[in-house]
């Protein structure tokens, strides 16, 4: 019996029951465009995911081939570029994800009683669970619903950012939170809104949401931050891209500031900028200000 997905050597794609032909060349071009625009590396195992997500864009644009779609992107269609990035970015998040970070943040906020205000940057806000968790942590740390904390929440994906800004979640997204946390920080919906909950306005007022691509040459951010949360983001970048982003983070942190990264991420290749303080929590390297800027990661033999 012939394999339905036999390789067609002449066309470079797999014969299948797919609605659209999808060649190896198509995938490579998409992968390169995503890397150039967002710094995200896709391996070969993501080919089916790419097809599935972008096939929706072909239908939406009434196109019949991936080549037509790629030509649309090459014409710098701004709206479609936004949809392209939104389609291919992954947004896995939850409230109090990697929970060991939040007591560290709370202790950090309380440890500086003479500081009048704090600024935190959440640079992968996704659908909002992380920045709202930061707001809850600040409220608990200071014992008030108006703590001296400002949170800047950014993401490259404008669709999830709009959901974050709305602050409305299906109740199952809250099912791992203690009842007292839900009662304190959320308003349960009734009637047509039953089954949903909305974050309290005090949390929403602490956060400014805005789109940001970490690969953009200029970031629309002002002033220094006391903490930067960049968790489970670096895993999508190669080492050189990671290094360049970390190099840009360093001058944005206050001298006492902290950088929080994901559980599978380390900054061994950027020790001139950051040193480990606690589990996946970094601070500025002690000699950072005394060293000239370098232009790439060091290699060790």
Catalytically active residues are 53, 155
d(CA 15, CA 65): 15
Q: Yes or no: say if 257 and 280 are a contact pair by the CB < 8 Å rule.
A: no
**Phi and psi (nearest 5°) for 101?**
-70, -30
Radius of gyration of the chain (CA): 22
Determine the Cα–Cα distance for residues 294 and 265; give it in Å rounded to an integer. 22
- Decide if 79 contacts 87 (C-beta within 8 A): no
Do residues 153 and 122 make contact, with C-beta atoms less than 8 angstroms apart? Answer: yes
Q: How far apart are alpha carbons 227 and 289 in whole angstroms?
A: 18
Reported as type and span, the H/E element at residue 36 is helix 24-38
DSSP-derived secondary structure for 198-245 = EE-HHHHHTEEEEE--TTSSS----S-EEEEEE-S-GGGS-HHHHHHH
- Using alpha carbons, list the distances in angstroms from residue 125 to 155, 255, 267, 286: 5, 24, 21, 29
* DSSP letters spanning 144-195: SSS-SEEEEEEES-HHHHHHHHHTEEEGGGGTTS-HHHHHHHEEE--GGGTT
What is the 8-class DSSP label of residue 23? B
């Amino acid at each position: 019996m012939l394999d339905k997905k036999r390789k067609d050597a002449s066309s470079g794609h797999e014969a299948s029951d797919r609605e659209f032909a999808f060649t190896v060349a198509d995938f490579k071009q998409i992968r390169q465009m995503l890397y150039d625009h967002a710094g995200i590396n896709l391996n070969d195992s993501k080919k089916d995911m790419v097809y599935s997500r972008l096939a929706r864009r072909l239908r939406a644009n009434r196109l019949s081939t991936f080549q037509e779609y790629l030509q649309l992107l090459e014409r710098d269609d701004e709206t479609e570029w936004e949809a392209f990035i939104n389609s291919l970015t992954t947004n896995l998040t939850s409230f109090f994800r990697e929970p060991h970070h939040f007591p560290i943040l709370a202790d950090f906020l309380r440890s500086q009683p003479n500081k009048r205000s704090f600024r935190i940057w959440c640079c992968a806000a996704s659908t909002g669970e992380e920045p709202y968790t930061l707001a809850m942590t600040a409220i608990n740390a200071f014992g008030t619903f108006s703590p001296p904390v400002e949170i800047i929440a950014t993401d490259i994906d404008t669709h999830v950012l709009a959901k974050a800004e709305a602050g409305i979640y299906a109740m199952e997204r809250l099912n791992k939170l203690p009842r007292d946390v839900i009662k304190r920080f959320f308003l349960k919906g009734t009637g047509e809104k039953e089954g949903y909950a909305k974050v309290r306005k005090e949390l929403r007022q602490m956060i400014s949401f805005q789109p940001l691509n970490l690969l953009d040459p200029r970031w629309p951010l002002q002033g220094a931050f006391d903490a930067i949360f960049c968790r489970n983001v670096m895993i999508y970048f190669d080492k050189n891209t990671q290094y360049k982003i970390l190099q840009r983070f360093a001058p944005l942190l206050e001298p006492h500031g902290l950088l929080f990264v994901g559980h599978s991420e380390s900054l061994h290749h950027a020790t001139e900028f950051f040193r480990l303080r606690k589990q996946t929590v970094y601070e500025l390297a002690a000699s950072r200000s005394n060293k000239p800027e370098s232009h790439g990661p060091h290699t060790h033999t």
